[in-house]
Amino acid sequence: MFCPYQLSEDGIEMQFATNHLGHFYLTNLLLEKMKDTAKSTGIEGRIVNLSSVAHLHTYEEGIIFDQINEKSSYDDKKAYGQSKLANILHANELSQHLQAEGVNITANSVHPGLIMTNLFKYSGFLMKIVKLVTCMLWKNIPQGAATTCYAALHPSLKGVSGKYFVDCNEFEPSRFARNKILAKELWDFSYKLVNAAEKP
């Protein structure tokens, strides 16, 4: 979160690689097993992407596909927001694919809230002051896990897919996060990056 510019071992900007591509790749690795399990047990599978309200603060285009690794245009906070926007878009597009296949799996995204963890180790002095002043708004770790657990387990969400949740309630995300064309473009872009990284 808000880390200085760096690239992953595969040459991809670190926040995008870690916060989005890692989730995208892991989900794809597990998806066939999830489909088989949901079919054989009759129990609904649920995929929950951990996003953030930070998805509201991204680059002007939402996702800068053509400059994803560009150091000169890198902004640590916008790059983080971009990666969190990608989490929502991925869940939305995945939901469309799952519904089209008719499989018993849902995909949603959540904002866990402001949580007291060491995620802010790269944040500057100003952010540390903001954290101190707003400490009453912050959640402890169990409180921060509540919305994720809700989306993963609550019976009332059976069959609910392609939604974004905040404080255990459905919430409308940004216009970029609701953009189906952007979601499809991200899906195709992510597949290309993952496939390129898999090749020896």
Residue 132 has a pLDDT of 63
Query: How far is 45 from 107, CA to CA, in rounded Å?
Result: 9
Query: How far is 178 from 157, CA to CA, in rounded Å?
Result: 20
Structure pTM? 0.88
Angstrom distances, CA of residue 8 to CA of 11, 79, 92: 5, 14, 26
- Alpha helices for 114-155 (secondary structure H): 125-133, 141-153
DSSP per residue, 60-85: TTBS-GGGTT-STT--HHHHHHHHHH
* Average pLDDT, consecutive stretches of 10 residues, N- to C-terminus, the chain (200 residues): 91 96 97 98 98 95 96 95 98 98 98 67 61 65 89 98 97 98 98 84
Domains contained in the chain, CATH given = 14-198 (3.40.50.720)
At 50 the three-state DSSP class reads strand
Residue 121 has a pLDDT of 59
Angstrom distances, CA of residue 41 to CA of 34, 46, 75, 79, 97: 10, 14, 46, 40, 21
Residues 6 or more apart whose CB falls under 8 angstroms from that of 166 comprise 53, 110, 111, 113, 147
Active site residues: 74
Residue 6 burial (CB < 10 Å; 0-12/13-18/19+)?
Answer: exposed
Q: What one-character DSSP code corresponds to residue 139?
A: B
Chain position carrying tokens 């939402």: 62
Residues 6 or more apart whose CB falls under 8 angstroms from that of 144 comprise 112, 113, 115, 117
Q: Which of 153, 9, 148 has its CA nearest to residue 91?
A: 148
